[in-house]
Structure 1
Amino acid sequence: MAPASDRREHPVFESGDDRVHDYGMANAVGRITDTLIAMSRLIYAGHVTRYSNMKVVAGIGGAALPYVIGRLRRNYSLDKDKLGDPDAALAAMYYDTIVQDTRALRYLADVVGADRIMMGSDMPFPIGDLAPLNIVQDTSFSAAERTSINGGLAQRLFGL
């Protein structure tokens, strides 16, 4: 696992779910669902906390993780001996700003902390944010939080 954790890659999901192939839903919700499932599997497998040197950045603002943490926590409480702790995992992960709604970005910050959030653009996908600085500017963050989100965290995290 150690060599794989050193790679820096952008996953590309092509959902096999026919329900998302119309109406542009692959970009609107399909990738979110794929990301939520992938991140939940990493969390429950215990990989996020076991491999503490692995820097996990959950795209799409963590997909739906901040919104389903209660359900993940409840599921964990039913089988703690076999599942990784979702609260510990969410606290160890990082997130991008690609939620495209200031209320959602504020909620993400309230759940995981603004210090865990970094700028994202969602490129190369067509649903990407063409002006990614705007959502950070328009969300109620302090100047220090904006500086961190707009590049400071990425510089520290990736040694740039």
Structure 2
Amino acid sequence: MTDVTTGTTEAAQTTQTTGTTETRPTVDVHAHVLLPAIDALVAGLPGHAEALALDAGRNGPASLAVSGPMVRERIPRMTDPAVRLATMDAQGVDVQLVSPSPSHYHYWADEETAEKVYLLANEATAAHCSAAPERLRGLGLAPLQHPDQAVRALEHALEQGLAGVEISSHAPGRELSDPAYEPFWSRAGESGAIVFLHPFGCTLDERLDQWYLSNTVGQPTENAVALSHLIFSGVLDRHPGLKVIAAHGGGYLPTHIGRSDHAWSARSDAHAGCAHPPSSYLKRLYFDSLVHDPHVLRELVRVAGADRVLLGSDFPFDMGTEDPVGALRAAQLAEADFHAVRGGTAAALLRKD
């Protein structure tokens, strides 16, 4: 049993520090649930076939041939809470923050369909997590293609007992800096809701349709672009209470933030939107640890702070890690930093009011 408020858990790792024993849960903030009811809801609707064709073109046939069997093999871990919990036990993970598979965004959908999607996603995710509420916290969805609905979707997610919502890096024709999202950012900041920024698809399209570049290059590129919009537009200045968690360690931005700082200092157009050097905003964001390189993880902790990096596995996809704690340990962080990333910071974020 785990209590993310107090940090007590039977399975948690225990460490001796300065003569005292601290017990903290291990918290994975990047884990997904698959919701077949949403697939059934959108099947055959106008726009769905075109969206599938766009996704297929972006990934390429070779990647699709691998991804299909990979996802099918992992369906029990994403749909059956008992299988999920058994896998978590094997990984040494006490608590997961569970978000819908990004394939459920459906940003092509009209307003009526978009509302049905977020209502179903929020309720189904809450139901999945209710199987083990002491170990599973959930996130809903917000339809970025309809900014007026985003606040309502967030409110509905919170009403379901979810911790916040998951969003992509952009919507068709809109970046996260778009003024139309100001009410959403405002409400997210006021409510203390978590906004999990997880890209789906990359606008570089067919340039990345071989060798799974759509994911290996596309995802970190989309993360970097989206975060840059939040920083340079002043969204984080206007809404200092935002709790944004960026998947995939924030992509390329944290390790190349010096270039952003230089542009901010050297050019008036780069300086116009945000009040402080871009690197300073890394300490206002949160990042998961899923960077697949211990040296990059150490650098992420250096530039953002251990109190801004959270354990993430991308459960249970093949671009994640089966051993998130082992991957974290490989970075050889200071003991206090290791335990902050392992779960201390996330447990505080997920505390119940």
Question: What TM-score results when the alignment is normalised by the length of structure 1?
Answer: 0.89
Contact 2:310 2:346 in 1 (8 A): yes
Q: Measure how far apart 1:96 and its partner are.
A: 0.9
Structure having the larger proportion of residues in strand? 2
User: What percent identity do the matched residue pairs reach?
Assistant: 32
Following superposition, the deviation at residue 83 of structure 1 comes to: 2.5
2:306 is aligned to 114
Q: Give the SS at the match of 1:57.
A: strand
Q: Measure the CA separation in 2 of the matches of 1:121 and 1:54.
A: 23
Aligned pairs (5 A) from 1:74-93: 74-77=262-265, 78-79=267-268, 82-84=272-274, 85=276, 86-93=278-285
SS of 1:64's partner is coil
Distance 1:28 1:81 in 2: 31
Selected match of 1:141 from 333, 338, 346: 333
Aligned to 2:322: 130
> Judging changes above 3 Å, is the alpha-carbon distance between structure 1 residues 57 and 133 closer, same or farther for their aligned structure 2 residues?
same
- CA gap of 1:94–1:142, structure 2 versus 1, over 3 A, is same
- How is 1:13-28 mapped onto 2 (pairs within 5 angstroms)? 13-16=200-203, 17-28=205-216
| Aligned counterparts of 1:125 and 1:118: Cα–Cα separation in 2 | 18
- Tell me how far 1:55 sits from its aligned partner: 0.7
Asked whether 1:154 is paired with 2:350, we answer no
Aligned in 2, Cα 1:76/1:28: closer, same or farther, shift over 3 Å?
same
1:9 is displaced (CA, Å) by 4.4
1:44 equivalent to 2:228? Answer no
Instruction: In structure 2, give the amino acid aligned to 1:82.
Output: A
Structure ranking higher in helix proportion: 1
Is the CA contact 2:196–2:246 (under 8 Å) kept in the aligned structure 1?
no
Structure-2 change in CA distance of 1:120 and 1:159 (3 Å): same
The alpha-carbon distance between structure 1 residues 108 and 58, as it changes in their structure 2 partners (threshold 3 A), is: same
Q: 1:81 Cα shift?
A: 5.0
Per-residue CA shift, 1:35-58, capped at 9, x if unaligned? Answer: 110010100011123211111212
Q: Which has the larger radius of gyration?
A: 2
Whether the 8 Å CA contact 1:61–1:97 is kept in 2: the answer is yes
Quote the RMSD (CA, aligned, Å): 1.9
Are 2:186 and 1:2 equivalent residues in the alignment?
yes
- Post-superposition offset of 1:137: 1.1
Contact 1:49 1:88 in 2 (8 A): no
CA contact (8 A) 2:194 2:243 kept: no
Match in the other structure for 1:70: 258
Kept after mapping to 2: 8 A contact 1:136/1:146: yes
CA distance in structure 1 between the aligned counterparts of 2:197 and 2:318, rounded to whole angstroms: 15
Question: Does 19-28 or 82-91 show the bigger shift?
Answer: 82-91
Secondary structure of the residue aligned to 2:243 is: coil
Is contact 2:236–2:242 with CA below 8 Å preserved after alignment? Answer: yes
Q: Distance in 2 between matches of 1:128 and 1:47?
A: 30
Larger displacement relative to structure 2 (3-12 or 105-114): 3-12
Deviation at residue 142 of structure 1 after TM alignment: 2.2
Gaps of 5+ in 2: 1-184
Q: Please give the secondary structure, in 2, of the residue aligned with 1:48.
A: helix
TM-score normalised according to structure 2 size:
0.42
1:11–1:124 CA distance, 2 compared to 1 (3 A) = farther
Figure out how many residues of one structure are paired with residues of the other and give that number.
160
Q: Do 1:56 and 1:94's aligned partners in 2 also have CA atoms closer than 8 Å?
A: yes
Instruction: Describe the shift of the 1:4–1:125 C-alpha distance in structure 2 as closer, same or farther (beyond 3 A).
Output: farther
